[in-house]
Amino acid sequence: MLRRAGKYTGVFRITLMNNLAYIQDVALNSIFMLVVIFVFVALWKTTYSVTGEQSLGGFTLQQTIWYLVMTETITMSSPRITTRIDAEVKGGDLAYSLNRPYSYVGFQYASFMGEAAVRFFINLAVGGLVAGLSVGFPAGGALEAAQATASRVTGATGAVGVAGVAGTAHLLAVVSASALTILMAMALYFTSMMALGLLAFWVEDATALFLVYERSMWILGGLLLPLSLFPAAIRRVAEVLPFRFIINGPAQLAVKYAAGDFWRVLAGQATWLAVTVVVLALVYRAGVKRVNINGG
Amino acid sequence: MMKTPRETGACAMAAIILTDLRKDFLAKEKEPGLLGSMKAAFAPHYRKVEAVRGISFSVDQGEVLAFIGPNGAGKSTTIKMLTGILYPSGGDATVLGLRPWVDRQRLAFQIGSVFGQKSQLWYHLPAADTFDLLARVYELPTAEYRQRRDRMVDLFDIGEFLKTPVRKLSLGQRMRCEIAASLLHRPSVLFLDEPTIGLDVVAKQQIRDLIRAMNREEGVTVFLTSHDAGDIERLCKRVIIINHGQVVMDAGVNTLRHNYLHNKVIDLKLAAPVADDYAFPLAGVTVVKARGYGLKLEVDTAVAPMERVLGLVVEGLRVADIAITDPPVESIIKTIYEQGVPAELREDAAPEAGWTESATGDALC
């Protein structure tokens, strides 16, 4: 069992090393992140200023900007697995992956996570730096929230000490809930995109399907706007689709953590993950029989 | 009438058995022009391509078999079925007693493969990192892996560049690493698909020596496809020629050499121009091209011994550079088609002594 798991941790590790080998290139790609967050900061500062509101859709300016940092980090860090699988199926690289004693899907997942890990931390660092310098860092906000709660409970005296403990606990809850839901989001992204990529066994080019899926995910998943700012009808649709569990759910938890929301997001992710895993297994099982490697 | 391995008596010693193995593909067809594109979009037309049309043979354990044919003959398709990547359309095959497309993962522990035009090494990392990964993938215990890796490093002489990123290796160095990687888990059968493609003469010879060494020392069965007649001549005892998805010839390499591999090509660069109507003063040597400082000769070594030809070249011409090459496999196959396959070499004829006795004779089973 351990040896089996070791295969996939080995793939994760080597992909991580492979990406670290040209970390400069990965870092250069994050310039886009820098520009995007800079534009968002300018846009939302103006919006909040013009409306004169402290909160829009339940989000303060700082929360909105950090929400966008998280959504952009999640989407920009997810490797384009569909394009890769499509190319492997057409180009014949599949020949080396299929005749190894491991699960092809497991191999791809470990490789996907290895690449995503490097990108995630670089994108988060770059986006977070721009956001932090522009609207402040959210940890301060979390501490203030905890302090306020503690004041109500204990009165003014001793509130600082209690708030310190409560703040740390709150921060831990936010970080662990975010980490878990981001990992689930990545798994959900991977399974759905991999299933789309495997359609290359049937269609000549799976890229078009990937683009439709990706754009739908961006729009309905809350990449550019928290779901609470959507018109009610669209929000109702978006809330039941898997996209929000990939982008909106984990990003919102990171900036506006609530235990109830966490369990709701996690349950939604688990449900959709179960669906996409079954779809992926069916598509893979049927598709692998149709492998038609070029040059064969 | 084609004989199946069972009919010919293939026994437990066979590492690979193919019985009427077939593979069809559907290829989309489109008439030329815009109208054709529109028609194809709404009513696509598919043509059935029979890539492999019922081939049967067996390969003994420890044998080195050349499986050759022109582009599109069905070689790679056959290898991919035997390694479990492709599902056949019909017939059957077993490798080490396992049906590859059914028991792909179990079989993977016992076979190795090198596809000359694809790499299994991680491009930005040193080969050592891929070796470490493969040790995990093939579930090798650490001590056993290290011992095996060190042996491969010594044998393939790759220690010097084991820690250099693969992208910085020459093709020859990379190919040595590729083959070493495919042997780490001690496979019983090694599938080599064009392992010397693109290599220079020295690198080709190194690769051939290493393959031969592994076959001799560890008894690895080698199933080789190549366009290079040199690979076949220097590595294999038996050759199967496939064309249009069918076995055209199944014979010993000695027989092939005697019948078809006796031609060599000599490419000369001269220090002085040669006349366009230059004629070589020895029977059995044909002038293929004579222009300026270049001269190309084709030598039938059965008629004109190479030693004699080279002596005359050095005596009569001012040589700046010389290269002696084997004719490409395509030209051998062309010759076979032009001359016809002798009855004793036909695929369904009684097999030649030596390699085939163990595959077909009950005495050795």
Nearest by CB to B85, from A3, A95, A102: name it.
A95
| Nearest CA distance, B24 vs chain A (angstrom) | 10
Q: How many domains does chain A have?
A: 1
* Chain B residues 224-253 with a CB less than 8 Å from chain A: none
User: What is B5-110+187-259+346-364's CATH superfamily?
Assistant: P-loop containing nucleotide triphosphate hydrolases (3.40.50.300)
Q: Report the DSSP pairing between strands B221-225 and B189-193.
A: parallel
Domain contains A53: yes
The ipTM of this complex is 0.81
Structure tokens, B86: 């492709």
CA A181 to CA B216: how far, in whole Å? Answer: 55
In sequence order, the 6+-apart residues with CB closer than 8 A to the CB of B177 are B121, B127, B130, B156, B158, B161, B162, B166, B169
Q: Sort out which chain A residues have CB atoms less than 8 A from B223's CB and list them.
A: none
Partner-chain contact B136 A10, CB within 8 Å: yes
A89-116 residue pLDDT tens:
777 677 777 888 999 999 999 999 999 9
| Residue pair B269/B321 in contact by the 8 Å Cβ criterion | yes
Nearest by CB to B85, from A17, A98, A101: name it.
A98
Domain contains A62: yes
Domain contains A293: no
In sequence order, the 6+-apart residues with CB closer than 8 A to the CB of B314 are none
Partner-chain contact B125 A292, CB within 8 Å: no
Rounded mean pLDDT of B138-165? 92
Tell which of B103, B106, B136, B178 to mutate to test the A interface (max A CBs under 10 Å).
B136
* Domain interval for residue A156: 2-288
CA A170 to CA A145: how far, in whole Å? Answer: 9
Whether residue A151 is predicted with pLDDT greater than 70 in this model: the reply is: no
Please give the angle made by the CA atoms of B260, B261 and B262, to the nearest 5 degrees.
Answer: 100
In sequence order, the 6+-apart residues with CB closer than 8 A to the CB of B357 are B351, B363, B364
Partner-chain contact A14 B130, CB within 8 Å: yes
Tell which of A90, A98, A202 to mutate to test the B interface (max B CBs under 10 Å).
A98
Domain contains A294: no
Q: Specify whether the backbone of A175 is left (phi greater than 0), alpha (psi in -120 to 50) or beta.
A: alpha
In sequence order, the 6+-apart residues with CB closer than 8 A to the CB of B296 are B265, B266, B267, B268, B287, B288, B289, B290
Of the CA atoms within 13 Å of residue B191, those in its CB half-sphere come to 25
Structural domain boundaries of chain B?
A: 5-110+187-259+346-364, 263-325
Rounded mean pLDDT of A153-178? 69
Q: Sort out which chain B residues have CB atoms less than 8 A from A104's CB and list them.
A: none
Kindly report which listed range (B31-45, B291-305, B325-339) carries the lowest average pLDDT score: B325-339
pLDDT of residue B350: 37
Whether residue B222 is predicted with pLDDT greater than 80 in this model: the reply is: yes
A142 or A256, greater pLDDT? A256
Rounded mean pLDDT of A196-213? 82
Confidence of residue B198 (pLDDT cuts 50, 70, 90): confident
Query: For residue B30, which phi and psi values (nearest 5 degrees)?
Result: -140, 135
C-alpha R_g of chain A: 21
Work out the mean pLDDT of chain B and round it to a whole number.
Answer: 83
> Sheet holding B285-291: strands in order across?
B285-291, B294-300, B263-270, B319-325
Domain contains A296: no
| Nearest CA distance, A3 vs chain B (angstrom) | 6
Count A/B contacts: CB-CB distance under 8 Å: 85
To which residue do tokens 């299994």 refer? B120
Partner-chain contact A96 B115, CB within 8 Å: yes
| Residue pair B132/B173 in contact by the 8 Å Cβ criterion | no
CA B24 to CA B181: how far, in whole Å? Answer: 32
A10-21 residue pLDDT tens:
999 999 999 888
Partner-chain contact B84 A99, CB within 8 Å: yes
- CATH number for the domain running over B263-325: 3.30.70.1560
Domain contains A295: no
Alpha helices in chain B (DSSP H): 5-8, 33-42, 75-82, 104-108, 127-137, 142-156, 171-183, 201-218, 229-235, 253-259, 306-316, 329-339, 355-360
Task: Using CA coordinates, name the residue in chain B closest to A100.
Answer: B108
Partner-chain contact A92 B118, CB within 8 Å: yes
